[in-house]
Structure 1
Amino acid sequence: MELRQLEYFVAVAEEQSFTRAAERVHISQSGVSAQIRRLERELGAELFDRSARTATLTVAGKAALEHARAALSAAGAVGQAVSAVTGLISGRLTVGMVNGCTITPLFDALAAFHAAHPGVRLSLLEDNSDRLVESVRDGAVDLALVGTTAPPDGLESWTIVSERLVAAVPPAHPLAARGTVTLRELIDHPLVCMPPGTGLRTLFDQACAAQGLRPVISLAAGAADAIAALAARGLGVAVLSESMASAYRGQLIALPLTDVDAPALLALIWRNNPNPAVRELLHHSRRTFTASDRTRHERQ
């Protein structure tokens, strides 16, 4: 028994005509008749009374009709469920990333997603975290990697990194031998920091405001590499996260800020009830970020 036989059977039953049923399913009348005869042989009973001008159901045909409709409906549901997560994921997926953030597990996730779903057109947009949050809220961006001080209200989120702020200075800097530093001690020196609208800058500004401090940012740059390079040349004290600063060991010494307890967060954010493409990219992201964390711990 084949689904097409059931489709033809239902068509004849509803049209009460082999001719009209053939037009409906776009094959010849002889083709419909042959498949119905084959189905009747498999079932061991005639489904239609062919003695009249119209094709009317026999008792056996009436008993089979609703089951045939249910089988076709179930087959359609199977197709819809599978297509929601496989080959029929299509269209466009816009991913946001905070400026200057080179996070290779995200790139690995994008590559894995593209290999699995080449029909989806990927777009990558760099911006500051504040604007990316709003872009996700209004639907212009489907998923974004942002720096933040807390998960944004009204959005789903997954925290990738949670770590403290540090001051980073070259070995010859007056603060280098201290081991730790407070905000009040830090703002006596020129500072190099992320621009407004980024998670690190928001956290730093909030911490200073809580103590009534007004830091002067001498230089601002959107990439950790640029901030570290400026600090290494003596142009200011870099304000970075722990992992950012650790990438420049030998050039800079990281000093924990003892009076800043709130962590800097790097998080993936998306709207509630994401579409299948976003769910698939999240699946790949969890795999790549988890593998990256495992590799980092093994190296330590």
Structure 2
Amino acid sequence: MNWTLEQLQTLRCVAEAGSFSAAARRLGRAQSAVSTAIANLELDLGCELFDRGPRTPVLTPAGEAMLHEANSVLVQCQRLEARARTLSQGLEASLTLAIDEALVEMPPVMAVLEKMAVQYPTLMLNLLNGAQDEVARWVEQHQANLGILFYQPLGVMALEREALGRLEQVLIVARDHPLAQLESPTHSDLADHRQLMIGQRQQLEPGHEGPRSQRFWQLNSFYAMAELTTRGLGWAQVPRHIAHYPPFQQRLKILDLSALGATADIDIELISRRDSPRGPAASWLRQSLRDTFHNSHAAIANQNLPPA
């Protein structure tokens, strides 16, 4: 087969315009050239594409099928051209972002990814979700360009960090848990029941107060903590957006923390390798994450201001 992209474009144009003459005007070509292009395409494909009996050409069943395939080829060609333009302008062909699995559903992160799909439609984005030690390791080992995770000490000199914001924690129990009867539990109330906690964080974060109960289970996932909490296996402190995650929301109760004093929020940060190249998409992603987290925290702060 010796068909060309120009012939496929002509086929689509005739089908859309409804006639050879209208297609010729749209393409800026002679009608005879359009008719010849279609005739040659029919010879190359071995089937008749148009019924020329009526006053205007009508696609045959074979023509309908070939038009569908031609459109697919032409769309792919447009994608190829767009990718070539972006590469020639220095845009990365692909970008890999590693995210702590507890932050994947966080609104600021989702908002940035939605904007990125519009800003860079041809960029191949790879998303890796895992525990925070996995996120740091993926970035360190060049498996990810950027990582979003909760604060953790970075012993690898090749990595650098940037603070994005702080995440509020809430105290949760199952709705049928004994603590659910208390609107504002005290330290002694919590000490009487099993605590579910992130084991790695209590070992690594400076100033972490450690478990509040002599009975505690350590996990490496906030989602796993919330799931076990819904089953009445203990109480936990998790980021607010996880407590509101649809599978958990109706099965959990958020308790008042006022009797416990100040509760530590969680720092969220962006990490990367110092020697990692920073193309336009990576730079845009960095700045968008900064702006979105900043705006999110500013909106929350304004909501908490006392009325004038």
Aligned mates of 1:222, 1:130 — CA distance in 2: 11
1:10 is matched with which residue? none
Give aligned-pair identity as a percent.
20
TM-score between the two structures when normalised by the length of structure 1: 0.54
Deviation at 1:106, TM superposition (A): 1.7
Gap change, CA 1:123 and 1:254, over 3 Å in 2: same
1:91 is matched with which residue? 93
Q: Does 1:254 align with 2:259?
A: no
Superposed CA offset, 1:232-286 (max 9, x none): 4423212324564477599413353848865422222222365123212112222
Q: Does 1:217 align with 2:217?
A: yes
Q: Does 1:265 align with 2:254?
A: no
1:234 is matched with which residue? 232
With 281-290 and 254-263 compared, the bigger mean Cα shift is at 254-263
1:160 is matched with which residue? 164
The RMSD of aligned alpha carbons is 4.1
- Give matches, 1:265-284, under 5 Å: 265-272=267-274, 274=276, 275-276=278-279, 277-284=281-288
Superposed CA offset, 1:69-91 (max 9, x none): xxxxxxxxxxxxxx999942122
Deviation at 1:128, TM superposition (A): 0.5
Gap change, CA 1:115 and 1:253, over 3 Å in 2: closer
Deviation at 1:121, TM superposition (A): 1.5
Aligned mates of 2:206, 2:179 — CA distance in 1: 19
Tell whether the 8 Å contact from 1:94 to 1:122 is kept in structure 2 after alignment.
Answer: yes
Aligned mates of 2:256, 2:208 — CA distance in 1: 19
2:149 is matched with which residue? 146
Gap change, CA 1:246 and 1:151, over 3 Å in 2: farther
- Give matches, 1:1-300, under 5 Å: 87-101=89-103, 102-149=105-152, 154=157, 155-163=159-167, 165-170=169-174, 173-176=177-180, 177=182, 179-182=184-187, 186-194=190-198, 196-197=199-200, 199=201, 207-208=209-210, 215-217=215-217, 220=219, 222-224=221-223, 227-241=225-239, 244-245=242-243, 248=249, 251-256=252-257, 258=260, 262-272=264-274, 274=276, 275-276=278-279, 277-297=281-301
Superposed CA offset, 1:25-54 (max 9, x none): xxxxxxxxxxxxxxxxxxxxxxxxxxxxxx
With 93-102 and 245-254 compared, the bigger mean Cα shift is at 245-254
Deviation at 1:297, TM superposition (A): 4.8
Deviation at 1:207, TM superposition (A): 2.8
Q: How many residues align?
A: 211
Gap change, CA 1:296 and 1:179, over 3 Å in 2: same
Partner SS, residue 95 of structure 1:
strand
Tell whether the 8 Å contact from 1:85 to 1:280 is kept in structure 2 after alignment.
Answer: no
Mark the structure with the bigger radius of gyration: 1
Tell whether the 8 Å contact from 2:197 to 2:237 is kept in structure 1 after alignment.
Answer: yes
Deviation at 1:162, TM superposition (A): 2.4
Alignment-mate amino acid for residue 166 of structure 2? S
Aligned mates of 2:214, 2:207 — CA distance in 1: 8
Structure 2 portions without partners, runs of 5+: 1-84
Gap change, CA 1:185 and 1:161, over 3 Å in 2: farther
Tell whether the 8 Å contact from 2:153 to 2:205 is kept in structure 1 after alignment.
Answer: no
2:3 is matched with which residue? none
Tell whether the 8 Å contact from 1:158 to 1:267 is kept in structure 2 after alignment.
Answer: yes
Tell whether the 8 Å contact from 1:187 to 1:216 is kept in structure 2 after alignment.
Answer: no
Partner SS, residue 252 of structure 1:
strand
Aligned mates of 1:261, 1:251 — CA distance in 2: 19
Structure 1 portions without partners, runs of 5+: 1-82
